[in-house]
Copies of this chain bind each other. A is one copy, B any other.
């Protein structure tokens, strides 16, 4: 699919509507920027009050423009926009960047105006960037409608819901000196074009090697996930999502009016779609830079080459914390290193050359070469003083240091393995480090940032490897009898009864304990006949009683007809007392489940992301420790497994404290079956299996709840 955005985000002719001769106005600054940058396309200033601006002929209105323009920059007030879009459409303009605010973010009248903008966009065929946007640039095309100084063309595409955030990244890039951008767009209110559309565009845009997003809130999160999981196969997608706390969510919503959603859920879903999620704002640019340059690593095993102690130690700590591993150096590599390094060098990763390179700098390049050759090494991380030898020790070292930089640069061209550098001297930008950077080797002044980059490279390599062989469950056929179950519930304006929910699960292949609904004392005999003397549980069945235990509607460990009869009587009495007008269908009788490990599976329809499954351990793990994982439905077998493995308390599932490990394959199977069932029945608004008891062999679904969408929705 080719994004329609290409037509106007790389425009060959631009109309500036509301062009101005006043240097403080955007309608002047944008024109001035285009001219100064040497934009080669046509510029059509529209201004009825003057004949030329900056030496370019102006037009009184859009209709008077002699040719068409791909893009219109609309600098006029909000109220003028709908008519202008119509005029643009008549002229064949493909897209408009609308700077004005005063739309949906500004009360009821603004909302109305924004609806008119959308209608005009649809009517005219002119796609809308914004309104309420900071603007856009495409530096390779020399289109910089923000007139942002000191930004250089490069490979980072960026979409930021905050103009100041773009500015911060641009200043950071300016200070770095090597980092450049391809396209920037401020999505503004996303009235027409939204995050997912921009992502598709950046995914296709040839100058962009990494698509980077600052997001306060998604409007259509599901669409973004869909496009991301396609795009991420081709190039890295980096997202910083603000609102990780309640305080941040409130701030974001007052800033953009965005619905924040659950942060941890959003992060899980983005990662599922292959997105490299960055959780600190000062890591956005380093990670984007590193992914842009290096794209991915084949694995998470890092060899550290250091010329001193402290930083190698810090790097080791950070690597482990970030889920990376210190590579186990092969014997062959060790032998090769021993042959060239001083005897006191440490040959256990982190490799410390211990002074070997002080008088022989090219040795560092040689060591990197040896490490990069090791099949047990996925990335090589040079840590220490490189770049500063001549500055620190003797200017005579400058030649050697430059030569060494060239050798490392040469290695970078030959090896597919990422080379990453942390240098103490990065803040002072010595020339050897510039040589490395020009060869595509990122150089960091923070070990922490460098490690985040390596973590992102490793994660991305893992994602690509996995997504090459993703195993999605086949969708299931909707079973008519189950559809009927939902229709009945909808007619009766109730949710599914527990026994119906379990019936539903069973129909789609989930193992369900035997169950029997008892509506009279005579039916108790049948239950005894079926279940014999094993201990049973009895629960009330009533659409009017949601919290069965609270109502006294549950009895455990029942055995024999008498116990069942008594229990049924008690339950009915309790429930009447609890809610006098409760309609009681009967009681559900089932064998007690064996002891095991409680887990919870929940499905909900998220307003931003659609159907999402949650998995966690039961009780305090969910309620207090919030130790849960989320995946968007549908998900693959690999996703199901990673959802289980992501839980902090996973060791409990893996057999801690002398217990046997639970049957993880059975749990994975259960997660997949529930996900396909949910797809087959869009009538499901929520589904909760709480608890499921996991065993060394299989599992038992002890309670099941299915909330049904009303029929009229």
Q: Interface on A for B, CB 8 Å cutoff? A: 23-24, 160-165, 167-168, 171-172, 174-175, 214, 216, 242-248, 250-252, 254-256, 280-282, 307-314, 316-321, 326, 346, 348, 350, 352, 384-385, 388, 392-394, 424-425, 427-428, 445-449, 619-620, 623-625, 648-649, 651-652, 656-657
> What CA separation (Å) do A308 and B256 show in the bound complex?
11
Contact B174 A313 (CB under 8 A): no
Structural contact, B214 and A164, CB atoms closer than 8 A: no
Cβ-defined partner of A310 (8 Å) among B242, B245, B314? B242
Contact, CB under 8 Å: A321 / B244: yes
Q: Cβ of A319: which chain B residues have Cβ within 8 Å of it?
A: 247
Interfacial chain B residues near A623, Cβ < 8 Å: 656-657
When distances are taken between beta carbons in the complex, the residues of chain B under 8 Å from A648 are 625
A-B residue pairs in contact (CB < 8 Å), sample of 7: A164-B311, A168-B310, A174-B427, A175-B428, A255-B312, A256-B309, A625-B649
B residues in contact with A656, CB < 8 Å: 620, 623-624
- Output the least CB separation between A227 and chain B (Å): 23
Report if A424-B243 is in contact (Cβ < 8 Å); known contacts: A316-B250, A447-B281, A657-B620.
no
Residue of A245, A246, A251, A326 most packed against chain B (CB within 10 A):
A251
C-alpha spacing A175/B430, complex, angstroms = 12
B313 pairs with A164, CB closer than 8 A = no
CB neighbours of A624 from chain B (8 A): 649, 651-652, 656-657
| Nearest-Cβ distance from residue A450 to partner chain B, whole angstroms | 10
Chain B residue numbers with a CB within 8 Å of A251 are: 309, 312-313, 316-317, 350
Closest residue on chain B to residue A425 by CB atoms: B171
Known A248-B314, A282-B448: A167·B216 in contact at CB below 8 Å = no
Whole-angstrom CA separation of A576 from B174 in the bound complex: 78
Q: How far is the CA of A308 from the CA of B162 in the complex (A)?
A: 8
Q: A164-B311, A282-B447, A320-B246 are contacts. A254–B651 as well, Cβ < 8 Å?
A: no
Residue of B nearest to A241 (CB): B317
Q: How far is the CB of A27 from chain B (nearest CB, A)?
A: 15
CA distance A254 to B445 in the complex (A): 24
The answer to whether residues A619 and B310 also contact, given A167-B385, A446-B282, A624-B649 and a CB cut-off of 8 A, is: no
Compute how far the CA of A248 lies from the CA of B214 in the bound complex, rounded to whole angstroms.
33
CA distance A425 to B312 in the complex (A): 32
In chain B, what residue has the closest Cβ to A169? B424
User: How far, in whole Å, are A550 and B417 apart by their CA atoms in the complex?
Assistant: 52
Q: Which of B214, B244, B247 contacts A326 (CB 8 A)?
A: B247
CA distance A171 to B423 in the complex (A): 10
Which residue of B is nearest A424, CB measured? Answer: B168
A281 with B248: in contact, given A310-B165, A317-B243 (CB under 8 Å)?
A: no
Contacts of A651 in B (CB 8 A): 624
Q: List the B side residues contacting A311 at CB < 8 Å.
A: 162, 164-165, 168, 281
The answer to whether A308 touches B384, judged by C-beta atoms less than 8 angstroms apart, is no
List the B side residues contacting A320 at CB < 8 Å. 245-248
A161→B648 CA distance, assembly (Å): 34
Give the shortest distance, in Å, between A507 (CB) and chain B (any CB). 33
Contacts of A171 in B (CB 8 A): 388, 424-425, 427-428
Query: Does B309 lie within 8 Å of A162, measured CB to CB?
Result: yes
Chain B residues, CB < 8 A from A307: 164
Closest residue of chain B to A134 (Cβ to Cβ) is B308
Q: Tell me, in angstroms, the Cα distance from A242 to B313 when the chains sit together.
A: 7
Which residues of the partner chain B approach A23 to less than 8 Å between Cβ atoms?
394
Complex Cα spacing A620 to B659, Å: 12
Who on chain B is nearest to A350 by CB? Answer: B251
A24 to B389, CA, bound (A): 13
Would you call B309 and A255 a contact (CB within 8 A)?
yes
A248 to B312, CA, bound (A): 8
On whether the beta carbons of A172 and B445 are closer than 8 Å, the reply is: yes
A281-B314 contact in complex given A247-B320, A656-B624, C-beta closer than 8 Å: yes
Within 8 Å by CB of A248, from B245, B316, B619, lies: B316
Closest CB in chain B relative to A357 CB, distance in Å: 13
Most central of A214, A308, A352, A394 by chain B CB within 10 Å: A308
Question: Are B161 and A216 in touch, CB under 8 angstroms?
Answer: no
The distance in angstroms between the C-alpha atoms of A449 and B625, with both chains bound, is 27
> In the complex, are the beta carbons of A317 and B448 less than 8 A apart?
no
Q: By the criterion CB–CB under 8 Å, are A247 and B317 in contact? A: yes
Give A320's nearest chain B residue, CB to CB.
B245
Q: Which residue of B lies closest to A150 (CB)?
A: B428
